[in-house]
Chain A
Amino acid sequence: MTTAIQLTPQDTIERGLDLAAAEGADGCVVIVAETSSANLRWANNTLTTNGAMRGSSVTVIATVGAGEGTAAGVVGRSSATDTSLGDLVSAAVATARGSSPAEDARPLVDGSVGADWAAEPEETSVSVYEKFAPALGETLKRAGKESRWLYGFADHEVTTLYLGSSAGLRLRQALPRGFVSETGKSGDLSQSAWVGAATRDFADIDPFALDTELNRRLGWASRTVSVDAGRHPTILPPAAVADLMTYLFWQLDGREAFEGRSVFSTPSGGTRIGDALSSQPVNLLSDPQLPGLETFPFAVARSSGGASSVFDNGLTLSATDWIRGGKLEHLMTSRHTADLIGAPAASPGIDNYVLSVDGASGSTDDLVAGVEHGLLLTCLWYIRMVDPQTSLLTGLTRDGVYLVENGEVTGAVNNFRFNESPVDLLARFSAAGATVPSFSREWGDYFSRTATPPLLVPDFNMSSVSQAS
């Protein structure tokens, strides 16, 4: 039986940096992540799975001189003990020595010791559901009595990240993240509705309120209408806007644009930074300090890519306007790719965004009130890139498409497959509401820190009808 001792995150980092120096590494970054999570999943009005998990990871990034450049070696393990840490560091240094010079090599980010560096990891447990679980149980029973079906998932996790480097950085950040997503179906399964919300602690999640909203939407389906494919005036609620705009957000890769392989490339070479994407005052902003959407305020990269670099670990992340007043302002870059494309400074990706329209106000219901004849969506699903040249995406409507007549929801209609470009939609929407916290059905499980407005698109392209219900 092993007698190895589990190290604290701080000890892992300090010992790891010392070991790397002893091995002759020129530089080193050690990242430790401690994660705990608890979840509940239900279907057909009963629990299906659940779990309480703890995880950890230790990533060592060693750098060594290689010819006229610097090479990096990245090795990760799920944990490190006093006896295994040496092997992990040795492997990272050996990997660096066996690698060619890194194109993105830059001096490691320097800095000092953060004020909360010595604090222990924060945790969650199944107790986060102490009030939620019994209430959920009541709604499941109520649905059964009313011949409805409920399906859903609740997840809460806390990640505490420690990052230390041979350049002096000692950073720590703890972040909670949670969400609930619930689908309701009629007794005969012919109608479906969905609600979802992000949360930091489940104190603001009321299963009874979710159930009431699902009931309201299923009620809209008491009248069903068939609608053909084609271009329809369509109201996208904040969740559906997040479904589409998260994909746009991920396409803001500066290097791909610079190389001519993106919707943000110009035909003659170079990027579209400075171009107007929309004649409307649309803004797309990321900021680690956004209230309610707080995320890691420093760069964390376990591998390098177009917009990230392992050499940039610890780089301070600040508010970044990707789009301001309809004009493309920044693309995502590392320090290396910023130099490559001629950007004045790096603008790494940040794990949140807010899409807003200057002067827009009102809710989804307010947009509905202004539409004479059109469709109201719930959310979108299975969204995939069809053509990166135009950023054409395909996907489907899901769990509730409703007919709007004379400003009111008058029934439920069939589902559709759509083919649309989110970049084009920013230029074509005809009305917008106020920006609110949103939860993307397609991406929310992984990317939940979004705020988006509802949008009215006068000619949303429904390519064909889907029989799904």
Chain B
Amino acid sequence: MYKVGNVPEVDASFLALPRHELAEAALQRARDLGATFAEFRLERIRSESIALRDSLLESASDDEDLGLAVRVIHDGTWGFAAGVALTTDEAVQVAEQAVNMAQVARPINAEPIELADEPVYDDVSWVSSYEIDPFSVPRAEKVALLTDYSDRLLKADGVAHVSVHVASVHECKFYANTEGTSYTQQRVRIGPDITAYAVDNETGRFDSMSSCVPPAGRGWEYLTGTGWNWDEELAEMPGWLAEKMTAPAVEAGSYDLVIDPSNLWLTIHESIGHATELDRALGYEANYAGTSFATTDKLNTLKYGSPVMHVTGDRTAEHGLSTVGYDDEGVAGQQWDLVKDGTLVGYQVDRRMAKVNEDLLGTPRSNGCAYADSSGHIPIQRMANVSLRPAPDGPSTEELISRVKNGIYIVGDKSWSIDMQRYNFQFTGQRFYKITDGKLDGQLRDVAYQATTTDFWGSMEAVGGPQTYVLGGALNCGKAQPGQSGAVSHGCPSALFRSVRILNTTQEAGR
């Protein structure tokens, strides 16, 4: 039977694991060895990947990652270790390895680790909002539905190939620390990806059209029509692709843009989401993911964008990919401002950064952004759901388009890239419609937009109303060393930007 209902419960099979016994053994051993703080995680992550190619099943895999981890503060230094056997002997051994790691690392640690205070949550539980556990649906039933979606596209004129991929994740976590907090948490997420391809055998030109469906903190019901209108989009995609294949190339230059939420979420992710991570602003990611132009000396003064820009961080939005009851340091999910009236006013932090920067941030509490993507990895500061607020009673997308004399309406995400301090970015999309005198005037091809973050957000003249708001997102945001993958959502309305640089990508290739 499917698990159906708005308030699912934590899986009984996870609850049956010896969570508390393992935690007690590990935390006690850490205390005995002199740790001043220790935390324990037991995580079980089930993941499924189904891929179809031209309506045939190409691959399907079902994986489960189950393990435990201990992180300690010993002599003011972090130590972390992880293992896979669910025995008290293993839990004790992993605690010993974590302390040993702290001892080895002590000579290169110059700053004693302290953590911001957080209330104690005693044996609480939290489950994300979904209806049907994807792992309760028979594989054959899933493949049959995806085959039907593929067939609908393949039978259309001009569609040469179709690829379908669906990733599903079911994440169970038990956390306990030496302060007395313990919780059990279950989250479900799903990410469909459907792309149609066209090939012109005379010219060799090829192109693609992908569904704009974002990944979401939902269950299998998402694939059957709850939260996304598949029938409508699948019917439209072949026509959109055919028009794109014969569309005229864009003339490089400066254009006004109306950007659909299906594209703008990614620009928010890269130019605001990552830029307001305090670990980046402090330099922790300087050797890998990069730093941020939004440094702490600019807090409350940096004009990030125009006055209509209001961006929040949250770990509470329903169906948000970064939504949690509690983070991986035992901090409860919250919502807060990052950019208000166009000014930088906040960061995303974990408990260590909150403690060190208490005066700067004006609060002694972490906003709950610690996350590890599995028991085998260290919790680091990861992104909350970072979202641009719509304007109450704001305009529709059509009204925004009507304000543009010569511009482009951009729908869907595709290529993305931004520099190591989050200044210079370049994005493409799925569809680009020329806007002439306030009306859509057919598709263009070979379009990319390129800008500097504060210039771009400063050029945002208007944001759409709540009726244009969509929660987009990604399953696979990468960060840290060793690399970790994070899922995060970004909500936004349609928005109007003035005078943004547009490239012709074929010309960029020197053709």
Interface residues of A (CB under 8 A from B): 1-2, 6, 37-57, 59, 73-79, 91, 95, 98-100, 102-104, 126, 129, 133-134, 136-137, 140, 144, 149, 151-153, 155, 181-183, 185, 189, 192, 194, 259-261, 265-269, 302-305, 310, 381-390, 392, 394-396, 398-399, 415, 417, 419, 421, 424, 445-446, 461, 463-469
Q: Contacting B60 at CB < 8 Å: which of A74, A140, A389, A394?
A: A74
Interface segment, B183-191, B196-204, B436-444? B196-204
Check B419 against A466 for contact (C-beta < 8 Å).
yes
With A and B bound together, what is the CA distance between A52 and B95 in angstroms?
A: 11
- A–B Cβ pairs within 8 angstroms, 19 of them: A1-B18, A2-B18, A52-B81, A55-B376, A98-B138, A99-B60, A126-B97, A126-B100, A133-B108, A140-B110, A260-B201, A268-B201, A305-B58, A382-B417, A382-B419, A385-B415, A386-B426, A394-B448, A419-B426
Q: What 0/1 pattern do residues 50 to 74 of B give for CB contact below 8 A with A? A: 0101001111111111110000000
Closest-CB distance, B143 to chain A (whole angstroms): 7
Q: Is the CB of B104 within 8 A of A126?
A: yes
A424 in contact with B509 (CB, 8 Å)? yes
What separation, in Å, do the CA atoms of A137 and B98 have in the docked complex?
20
Per the bound structure, the CA–CA distance linking A109 and B282 in Å amounts to 52
**Contact A102/B66 with A390-B506, A464-B450 known, Cβ cut-off 8 Å:** no
Min CB distance A382 to B, Å, is 5
B108 and A39 within 8 A (CB): no
* Docked-complex contact A463 and B503, CB < 8 angstroms: yes
B109 touches A47 (CB 8 A): yes
- Whether A79 pairs with B66 at a CB distance below 8 angstroms is yes
CA distance A435 to B146 in the complex (A): 47
A76 contacts B63, CB within 8 Å?
yes
* Chain A residues near B284 (CB-CB < 8 A): 43-44, 48, 151
CA distance A390 to B101 in the complex (A): 48
Q: Does B300 contact A (CB under 8 A)?
A: no
Complex formed: what's the CA distance from A81 to B234 in Å? 45
Most buried by A among B205, B285, B378: B378
Partner of B505, one of A77, A384, A392, A415: A392
CB distance from B109 to the nearest CB of A (A): 4
Cβ–Cβ < 8 Å partners of A185 in chain B: 283, 286
Identity of the chain A residue whose Cβ is nearest the Cβ of B22 in the assembled complex: A1
Given known pairs A266-B204, A417-B424, A445-B483, the reply for A52 and B80 (CB within 8 Å) is yes
A464 to B88 alpha-carbon distance, docked (Å)? 57
* B115: min CB distance to chain A, Å: 14
CB atoms of A415 and B419 under 8 A apart: yes
Interface string of B495-511 (1 = CB under 8 A from A): 00000010101101111
Query: Would you list which residues of chain B between 419 and 455 have a CB under 8 Å from chain A?
Result: 419-421, 423-424, 426, 428, 446, 448, 450, 452
Alpha-carbon distance A76/B287, docked complex (angstroms): 33
Q: Does residue B78 face the partner (Cβ distance < 8 Å to A)?
A: yes
A424 CA / B160 CA spacing, docked (Å)? 27
Evaluate contact between A40 and B81: CB separation under 8 angstroms: no
Report chain B residues within 8 Å CB of A99.
57, 60, 139-140, 143
B59 and A303 within 8 A (CB): yes
- Which partner residue on chain B sits nearest A304 by CB separation? B59
Tell me the complex Cα distance, A45–B282, Å: 12
Q: B424 touches which one: A6, A56, A389, A468 (CB < 8 A)?
A: A468
Kindly report which residue of chain B lies nearest to residue A136, judged by CB atoms.
Answer: B108
Q: Which 6 A-B pairs have the closest CB atoms?
A: A267-B204, A46-B110, A303-B59, A466-B424, A260-B199, A76-B63
New contact pairs (20) apart from A1-B87, A126-B97, A268-B201, CB-CB < 8 Å = A43-B284, A43-B286, A46-B108, A46-B109, A47-B78, A47-B108, A52-B101, A57-B65, A77-B63, A102-B57, A126-B100, A151-B287, A153-B481, A260-B204, A267-B202, A303-B61, A390-B509, A390-B511, A424-B510, A464-B424
A2 surroundings in chain B (CB, below 8 A): 18, 86-87
B380 contacts chain A at the CB level, 8 A cutoff: yes
B221 to chain A, nearest CB (A): 21
Q: State the CA gap A398–B293 with chains docked (Å).
A: 15
Q: Which residue of B lies closest to A49 (CB)?
A: B378
Contact A396 B84 (CB under 8 A): no
Q: Would you call B506 and A387 a contact (CB within 8 A)?
A: yes
Of the candidates A44, A50, A76, A91, which one forms a contact with B101 in the assembled complex, judged by CB atoms under 8 Å apart? Answer: A50
